[in-house]
């Protein structure tokens, strides 16, 4: 009660108070209703830099910390705050490994309109995302890239607190977001981390100022724990690429690894790979060459096989399709990421609760993107699902998502800004 009152009244928590609360909550001594009250106080009152750093350290110390020494490669991890069509981890991890990096990617599942990397990978027949520590380390040494679920022993306080925040209206707190992300990444044991902070309608952070604050907070947390950290702020006002949905995004990722794919997905994948090489201090050939000569694809196939998947197996295909057509001649001036993500979720690609199943084949294909010409009746979006009963609610979600005008909109930069510890 003393800790709750201190934060409720705008005070600063001591290191000892933070350590006690996180340890007590992890062990069940601090009740959910008490931690809910404290989380709401943090949301409303905020935290100082030292408070956030100590909160993060306490969550790291609630579990084990991986030892990745002896892997034999410079290690760099990447984390995205999530968006619509954000499949970048899939081509990026093998691309970075093909350039000489080790990429130990511990990923998560989708919730709501934002997709999850593990759900996407599990659309590949046979692929496992639950690996033992020995399997994780062996694959990292031998393949150079591993994308799997985090162990339950890694930052268990965060897992418990995240679930509580999700049902108490406290998800939006920047101190709690930053400490949640960084506690897991720092406990993972990588010496360098690249953050892709999405900004826009389809992102968790809708406004640039808030996204910058989150990026700065996470970069500072990385520096405090001797993890070289850079954050890029990237646009998420329109879907990334053409595919939104699990198997659909895997197929698009394979296109990128084969040297094709949508230009925005290729651009961001290559930019992030270059940033990862810079963080590692590795003077490697341009990642474009590793896409062009097939090295990245080779690593992808090895990674999929190492996790029990068949890279040659057909991906699941939905039984039902529905087209959304243009109402007039013109140019697509706006394609809003958020309703597209909600539509894919309602078609079965996403989940409302963490325990809900997802459909591998459901999703949305973007047939005409922003700036592209259309004629009345042309298909703009293609909805895919195995359950035709989901189509009406998906169509309702898309009401107003597509705008058609007479002139193409001004192009937006895909990478808006960057934040590193050097420049603050």
Question: DSSP code of 193?
Answer: E
**Active-site residue among 86, 158, 196, 235?**
158
Q: Rounded to an integer, what distance in angstroms lies between the CA atom of residue 373 and that of residue 123?
A: 33
* Backbone dihedral angles phi then psi of residue 232, each to the nearest 5 degrees: -105, 135
Short-list 88, 108, 43, CA closest to 414: 88
Asked whether the beta carbons of 336 and 237 are under 8 A apart, the reply is yes
Q: Rounded to an integer, what distance in angstroms lies between the CA atom of residue 320 and that of residue 382?
A: 10
Q: Rounded to an integer, what distance in angstroms lies between the CA atom of residue 124 and that of residue 248?
A: 11
**Active-site residue among 78, 79, 185, 228?**
79
Q: Rounded to an integer, what distance in angstroms lies between the CA atom of residue 374 and that of residue 79?
A: 36
Secondary structure E strands in 36-129: 77-80, 103-107
Q: Rounded to an integer, what distance in angstroms lies between the CA atom of residue 363 and that of residue 343?
A: 8
Q: Rounded to an integer, what distance in angstroms lies between the CA atom of residue 193 and that of residue 205?
A: 20
Terminal-residue alpha carbon distance, the chain? 36
Instruction: Decide: residue 371, CB within 10 A, 0-12 exposed, 13-18 middle, 19+ buried.
Output: middle
| Residue 310 falls in the annotated catalytic set | no
List CB contacts of 183: < 8 A, sequence separation 6 or more. Answer: 56, 59, 60, 155, 157, 158
| Residue 180 falls in the annotated catalytic set | yes
Q: Rounded to an integer, what distance in angstroms lies between the CA atom of residue 383 and that of residue 347?
A: 8
**Active-site residue among 165, 216, 368, 384?**
165
| Residue 184 falls in the annotated catalytic set | yes
Q: Rounded to an integer, what distance in angstroms lies between the CA atom of residue 128 and that of residue 118?
A: 9
Q: Which pair of tokens denotes residue 191? A: 């010496």
Number of neighbours of residue 420 by Cβ within 10 angstroms: 19
**Active-site residue among 184, 198, 301, 302?**
184
What are the CA-CA distances from residue 120 to residues 86, 99, 245, 384, 405 (Å)?
Answer: 10, 24, 7, 15, 34
Q: Which residues are catalytic?
A: 79, 158, 165, 180, 184
């Amino acid at each position: 009660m003393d800790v709750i009152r201190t934060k409720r009244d705008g005070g600063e928590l001591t290191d000892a108070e933070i350590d006690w609360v996180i340890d007590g909550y992890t062990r069940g001594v601090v009740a959910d209703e008490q931690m809910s009250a404290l989380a709401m106080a943090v949301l409303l009152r905020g935290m100082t830099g030292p408070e956030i750093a100590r909160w993060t350290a306490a969550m790291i110390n609630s579990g084990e910390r991986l030892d990745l020494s002896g892997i034999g490669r410079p290690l760099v991890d990447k984390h995205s705050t999530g968006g619509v069509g954000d499949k970048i981890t899939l081509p990026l991890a093998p691309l970075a490994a093909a350039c000489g990096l080790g990429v130990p990617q511990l990923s998560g599942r989708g919730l709501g309109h934002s997709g999850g990397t593990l759900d996407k990978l599990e659309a590949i027949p046979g692929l496992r995302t639950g690996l033992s520590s020995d399997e994780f380390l062996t694959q990292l040494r031998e393949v150079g890239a591993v994308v799997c679920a985090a162990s339950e022993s890694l930052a268990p306080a965060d897992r418990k607190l995240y679930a509580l925040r999700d049902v108490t209206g406290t998800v939006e707190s920047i101190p709690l977001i930053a400490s949640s992300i960084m506690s897991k990444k720092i406990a993972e044991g990588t010496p360098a981390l690249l953050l892709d902070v999405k900004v826009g309608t389809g992102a968790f952070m809708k406004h640039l100022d808030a996204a910058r604050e989150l990026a700065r907070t996470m970069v500072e947390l990385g520096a405090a724990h001797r993890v070289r950290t850079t954050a890029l702020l990237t646009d998420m006002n329109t879907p990334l690429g053409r595919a939104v949905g699990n198997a659909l995004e895997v197929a698009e990722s394979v296109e990128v690894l084969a040297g094709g794919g949508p230009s925005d997905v290729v651009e961001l994948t290559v930019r992030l790979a270059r940033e990862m090489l810079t963080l590692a201090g590795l003077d490697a050939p341009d990642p474009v060459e590793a896409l062009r000569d097939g090295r990245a694809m080779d690593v992808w196939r090895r990674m999929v096989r190492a996790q029990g998947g068949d890279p040659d197996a057909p991906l699941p295909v939905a039984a039902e399709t529905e087209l959304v057509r243009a109402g007039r001649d013109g140019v697509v001036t706006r394609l809003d990421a958020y309703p597209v993500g909600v539509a894919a979720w309602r078609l079965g690609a996403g989940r409302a609760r963490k325990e809900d199943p997802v459909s591998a084949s459901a999703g949305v294909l973007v047939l005409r993107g922003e700036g592209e010409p259309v004629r009345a009746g042309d298909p703009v979006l293609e909805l895919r699902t195995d359950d035709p009963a989901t189509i009406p609610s998906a169509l309702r979600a898309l009401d107003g998502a597509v705008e058609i005008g007479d002139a193409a909109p001004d192009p937006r930069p895909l990478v808006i800004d960057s934040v590193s510890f050097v420049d603050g």
